[in-house]
Amino acid sequence: MAVKVLVVDDDLNIQRVLSFTLKQEGFDVVLAGDGESGVAMAADQAPDLILMDAALPGIDGYEAITRIRGSEAPGQRVPILLLTTEADVGQRVKGLRAGADDDIVKPFHPAELMARIRALLARSGLSTARTGPTQATLRRVIVFYGAKGGVGSTTLAINTAIALAAEHKRRVALVDANLQFGDLRVFLDLKLDTASIVNAISEPELDADLLRRLMVSHASGIDLLLAPTAPEQADVVMENHRNSPDALSGMLELMRGMYDYTVIDASRSLDDITIHLFDEADAVYVVMTADLSCLKNVQLVLKTMTELGYPRDKVQLVLNRSNAFTGINIDNAESVLGRPIAHKLINEYRGAISALNSGSPFMVSRPGSPLAKAVSDFTNAVDKELSVVEADA
């Protein structure tokens, strides 16, 4: 049964935007255009959550919240998120005194709205799993590893995750495991004050509900577990991993149960955490370009993975900017590496960089571009291979 959300706002455009955003996330939505109607519908519709605009005709949002709280039966408390127009401490305090559980300032990013909604539902004991039918996940973990800096592994990880969610309707988490210099916050235009992988790894009693509250929901339909904001915080994760190596496995096992795909953007350092991620992964995609420096690195990576005993088909080579002239053709590269390049993506460097700098991935901002089509083809191959393996298991 889907979670029911009551939206109380007199602006029809905001009603439409909120209704569309919430329905896309699997919520049922009911609408009220003024405070009196909102109070009445809160009693009649028994919503699981209320989004209440502060400035309403008739009675305002503060008075509406006060009336809703006054009519609730003992032990019953519907979570209420107050929508305000100013980041004013006085308004926030007034809302909390009226009975709001949290507030958000308009205009807001859909990702922030969904993150606050999920946090409220989790605190109230209502699992967001109710937003859709119970369904087993594919439980797949895939890792993107750049053979050297600048080959586009982060870009590919981001856009593959989005394509899996948008085109294949998969539940997808994207994890930034580049602990010192993760870029997902910047590339996806996210705030610095959100939780990170440090919080998840350091939590001794991590469970699915808590992990879900640490994830950041993005407007593209994926959830994110971000890298820490300060490089020195990476030491916390490394130290925790040395003391409790099972913590990372436990976190990934929870994510397998929550998502069809957990997509990990790995650090280039072949440290204990990166190797552990390789161990856990169902597939490792080594992203490369056709130049001597990169080929040398790929040879070393493949040698390391062979020594670690990984099956040959677990590690797949992805040639990015395959149509760029480097003086080394694909046949020569495959001959040097001793194995085929499984996937090839075209060169559209300017488009990719422009999308990153705008904070809107090209699978969202330019879904019809040749590069987006190439990533879509790559994602089709990934999903076809890994979902078939699941079906045969």
Q: Tell me if the pTM is above 0.85.
A: no
Across the chain, mean pLDDT equals 88
Q: Are 120 and 101 in contact (CB under 8 A)?
A: yes
- As a whole number of angstroms, the distance between CA 57 and CA 11 comes to 10
In sequence order, which ranges of the chain are alpha helices (DSSP H)? 12-24, 35-45, 61-71, 89-98, 110-123, 153-168, 184-187, 197-202, 208-214, 234-243, 246-258, 272-280, 292-307, 330-337, 349-358, 362-365, 370-392
| pLDDT (0 to 100) of residue 1 | 57
What amino acid is encoded at 166 in this protein?
A
- pLDDT grade, residue 233 (50/70/90)? confident
Q: So what's the pLDDT on residue 254?
A: 95
336 burial (CB, 10 Å; 0-12 / 13-18 / 19+) is middle
Q: What is the model's pLDDT at position 392?
A: 43
**In whole angstroms, what is the distance from residue 195 CA to residue 202 CA?**
12
Task: Tell me what pLDDT residue 131 has.
Answer: 43
CA distance 15 to 23: 12
Q: Two tokens at 259? A: 């998502």
* Average pLDDT of the residues in 236-257: 91
From the list 75, 72, 56, the residue with the least C-alpha distance to 15 is: 56
Average pLDDT over residues 111-128: 77
What pLDDT digit, counting tens, does each position of 295-307 carry? Answer: 999 999 999 999 9
- Give the strand order in the sheet containing 28-32: 28-32, 4-8, 49-53, 80-84, 102-105
Does 121 or 9 have the greater pLDDT score?
9
- The per-residue pLDDT for 125 is 67
